């Protein structure tokens, strides 16, 4: 049998439980993202009923993400705008200190190991592009693995008691090459469905304690599976968040292509080779010689430059204005994208930062509702520890200012957790660093000099240096 046609065995394709034991954060994607381009007229028709046209709009979105830098920049900007800084706290403070501390440490470690600051923005990116994404958590105590299930075979099912958006997977649509990459739970469900006769008719089944009539080929994925949607609406399938802008991005790419490919080819430079003539206008060179000069010039001139050989007087006409107008058209289409998206051109500008702070704050407000998904996912992960997560409502651009604000609040009784959360460290890592510093008595190894404001009594002025730290000139002055 041909090696390429040999049926893959389970061991070749199953997702290993020990896949990620380092600091990497794999997102396992089990389907291709091929796409094709669409005309503006086609996009207009699709947007007449976007929920009904979600599959084709996803196709447009994936094509633009792969081919339009402007679209990719905006998707990256929005998905990585939120800092995902967080604090961990108990659901209720009624246990003794030791119990709460142990639970806190365990919960903080679980959130740290889940790599929320790295993985969640990438999940959000895929959701913005695809409209709906369907995930399965294969993580354990040592691994962080999220599988993205092919959205074409999934649909939103329900929002459960833990506010996790659960989904159905259509077992009848699982292809042979997808089966081996599915999580074990889904493979087992597929096998049971096949053994049961591959039924597709509706039957009354009990789903999460409720009896409903549902097709036999739809399987409700367990609580390790969850769904994200770009519009946060309870629809079976969602369409890409930026779909109303697809025509703008399409037009921008068309204008760029026209400028780069068409206009450059049409603007041809002409070199005039004037043939000398006598007072009667008769050429002073034979036709064969003139032709030889013309052919030589034509052979050696660069592309888009043509020779013109004749005895006439000619005047040059510059066509740069036409090229300038076309350049303005590209800039205009970029401005349209900025205006329609509501994202300031300052965000991607390398020339000015005027209004950047206000612009990013406004964009953060647009993205904050997505914390709803990720807060519920993280809280379910530490539910057994009876702890909760709160993501802080600021962006990377605002993190330093927030850190300074929380530092200023400390003498007034402000939260140290908020100050640590905006330092860039994970809560669990910061706690372990502090424990280590106390263990080695870092204050003795690296003593902190008191400032003038911290000194009292007779010890006024700046802190005194030890004798060994003083400069020779200082010692001479003191001894004088």
Higher-confidence residue: 19 or 470?
470
Q: So what's the pLDDT on residue 457? A: 53
* Range with the poorest average pLDDT among 65-79, 329-343, 400-414: 329-343
Q: So what's the pLDDT on residue 7? A: 47
* Range with the poorest average pLDDT among 79-93, 245-259, 393-407: 245-259
At 440, give phi and psi (nearest 5°). -90, 5
Q: So what's the pLDDT on residue 348? A: 63
Does pLDDT of 75 surpass 90? yes
Label the pairing between strands 218-220 and 165-170.
Answer: antiparallel
Query: What integer is the mean pLDDT of 304-332?
Result: 69
Secondary structure of 362-416 in the HEC alphabet? HHHHHHHHHHHHHHHHHHHHCHHHCEEEEECCCEHHHHHHHHHHHHHHHHHCCCH
Reported as a pLDDT band with limits 50, 70 and 90, residue 287 is: confident
At 95, give phi and psi (nearest 5°). -90, 170
Query: What integer is the mean pLDDT of 121-139?
Result: 93
* Range with the poorest average pLDDT among 26-30, 165-169, 198-202: 26-30
Q: So what's the pLDDT on residue 260? A: 67
Residues forming a β-bridge with 159: 165
Query: What integer is the mean pLDDT of 359-377?
Result: 91
Q: So what's the pLDDT on residue 314? A: 79
Q: So what's the pLDDT on residue 11? A: 42
Q: So what's the pLDDT on residue 347? A: 66
Q: So what's the pLDDT on residue 370? A: 95
pLDDT digits (tens, 9 = 90+) for 170-200: 999 998 878 888 888 999 999 999 998 888 8
- What does pTM read for this prediction? 0.75
Does pLDDT of 47 surpass 50? yes
Reported as a pLDDT band with limits 50, 70 and 90, residue 23 is: very low
Q: So what's the pLDDT on residue 132? A: 94
Q: So what's the pLDDT on residue 267? A: 61
Reported as a pLDDT band with limits 50, 70 and 90, residue 99 is: confident
Secondary structure of the chain in the HEC alphabet? CCHHHCCCCHHHHCCCCCCCCCCCCCEEECCCCCCCCCCHHHHHHHCCCCCCCHHHHHHHHHHHHHHCHHHHHHHHHHHCCECCCEEEEECCCCCCHHHHHHHHHHHHHHHHHCCHHHHHHHHHHHHHHHCEEEEEECCCCCCCCEEEECHHHEEEEEECCCCCEEEEEEHHHCCHHHHCCCCHHHHHHHHHHHHCCCCCCEEEEEECCEEEEEECCEEECCCCEEEEECCCCCCCCCCCCCHHHHHHHHHHHHHHHHHHHHHHHHCCEEEEEECCECCCCCECCCHHHHHHHHHHHHHHCCCCEEEEEECCCCCCCCCHHHHHHHHHHHHHHHHHHHHHHCCCHHHHCCCCCCCHHHHHHHHHHHHHHHHHHHHHHHHHHCHHHCEEEEECCCEHHHHHHHHHHHHHHHHHCCCHHHHHHCCCCCHHHHHHHHHHHHHCCHHHHCCCCCCHHHCCCCCCCCCCCCHHHCCHHHHHHHHC
Share of the chain above pLDDT 90, in %: 38
Q: How far is CA 120 from the centre of its chain?
A: 9
Query: What integer is the mean pLDDT of 95-108?
Result: 88
Sequence ranges of the domains in the chain: 8-242, 247-355
Query: What integer is the mean pLDDT of 423-433?
Result: 90
Neighbours of 431 (CB within 10 A): 20
Q: So what's the pLDDT on residue 326? A: 53
Q: So what's the pLDDT on residue 42? A: 93
Q: So what's the pLDDT on residue 82? A: 94
Q: So what's the pLDDT on residue 83? A: 93
Query: What integer is the mean pLDDT of 125-148?
Result: 87
Does pLDDT of 162 surpass 70? yes
Top mean pLDDT of 174-183, 321-330, 347-356 is at 174-183
Contacts of 299 (CB under 8 A, 6+ apart): none
Higher-confidence residue: 470 or 347?
470
Query: What integer is the mean pLDDT of 49-53?
Result: 94
Q: So what's the pLDDT on residue 9? A: 45
Top mean pLDDT of 201-210, 277-286, 318-327 is at 277-286
> Positive or negative CA dihedral for 190, 196, 201, 203?
negative
> Structure tokens of 119?
């993985």
Reported as a pLDDT band with limits 50, 70 and 90, residue 340 is: low
Q: So what's the pLDDT on residue 219? A: 93
CA dihedral 379, 385, 390, 391 (to 10 degrees): -70
Q: So what's the pLDDT on residue 339? A: 65
Q: So what's the pLDDT on residue 89? A: 92
CB–CB of 176/5 below 8 Å?
no
pLDDT digits (tens, 9 = 90+) for 204-263: 777 777 788 888 899 999 999 999 999 998 889 999 999 999 999 888 888 877 776 665
Does pLDDT of 288 surpass 80? yes
């Amino acid at each position: 049998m041909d090696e390429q046609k040999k049926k893959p065995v389970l061991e070749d394709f199953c997702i290993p439980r020990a896949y990620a034991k380092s600091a990497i954060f794999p997102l396992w994607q089990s389907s291709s993202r091929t796409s094709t381009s669409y005309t503006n007229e086609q996009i207009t028709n699709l947007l007449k009923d976007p929920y009904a046209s979600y599959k084709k709009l996803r196709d447009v979105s994936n094509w633009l993400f792969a081919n339009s830098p402007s679209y990719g920049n905006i998707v990256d900007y929005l998905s990585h705008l939120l800092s995902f800084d967080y604090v961990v706290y108990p659901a209720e403070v009624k246990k003794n200190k030791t119990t709460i501390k142990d639970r806190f440490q365990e919960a903080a470690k679980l959130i740290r190991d889940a790599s929320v600051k790295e993985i969640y923005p990438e999940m959000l990116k895929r959701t913005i592009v695809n409209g709906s994404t369907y995930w399965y958590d294969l993580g354990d105590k040592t691994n962080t693995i999220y599988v993205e299930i092919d959205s074409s075979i999934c649909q939103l099912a329900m929002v459960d008691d833990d506010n996790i958006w659960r989904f159905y997977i259509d077992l009848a649509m699982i292809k042979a090459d997808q089966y081996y990459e599915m999580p074990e739970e889904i493979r087992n469900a597929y096998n049971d469905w096949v053994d049961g006769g591959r039924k597709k008719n509706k039957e009354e089944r009990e789903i999460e304690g409720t009896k409903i009539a549902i097709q036999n080929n739809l399987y409700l994925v367990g609580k390790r599976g969850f769904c994200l949607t770009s519009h946060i609406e309870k629809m079976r399938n969602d369409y890409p968040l930026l779909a109303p802008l697809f025509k703008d991005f399409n037009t921008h790419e068309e204008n760029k292509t026209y400028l780069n490919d068409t206009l450059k080819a049409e603007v041809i430079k002409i070199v005039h080779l004037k043939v000398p003539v006598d007072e009667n206008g008769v050429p002073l060179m034979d036709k064969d010689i003139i032709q030889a000069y013309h052919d030589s010039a034509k052979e050696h001139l660069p592309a888009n430059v043509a020779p013109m050989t004749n005895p006439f007087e000619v005047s040059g006409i510059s066509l740069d204005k036409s090229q300038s107008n076309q350049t303005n058209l590209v800039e205009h289409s970029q401005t349209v994208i900025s205006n329609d998206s509501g994202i300031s051109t300052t965000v991607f500008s390398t020339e000015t930062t005027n209004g950047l702070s206000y612009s990013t704050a406004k964009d953060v407000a647009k993205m904050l509702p997505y914390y709803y998904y990720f807060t519920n996912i993280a809280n379910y992960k530490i539910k057994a520890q009876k702890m909760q997560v709160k993501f802080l409502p600021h962006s990377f651009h605002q993190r330093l200012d927030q850190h300074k604000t929380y530092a200023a609040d400390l003498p007034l009784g402000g939260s140290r957790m908020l100050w640590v959360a905006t330092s860039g460290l994970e809560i669990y890592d910061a706690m372990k660093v502090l424990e280590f510093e106390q263990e080695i008595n870092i204050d003795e190894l690296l003593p902190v000099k008191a400032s003038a404001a911290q000194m009292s009594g007779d010890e006024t002025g700046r802190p005194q240096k030890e004798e060994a730290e003083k400069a020779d000139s200082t010692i001479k002055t003191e001894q004088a």
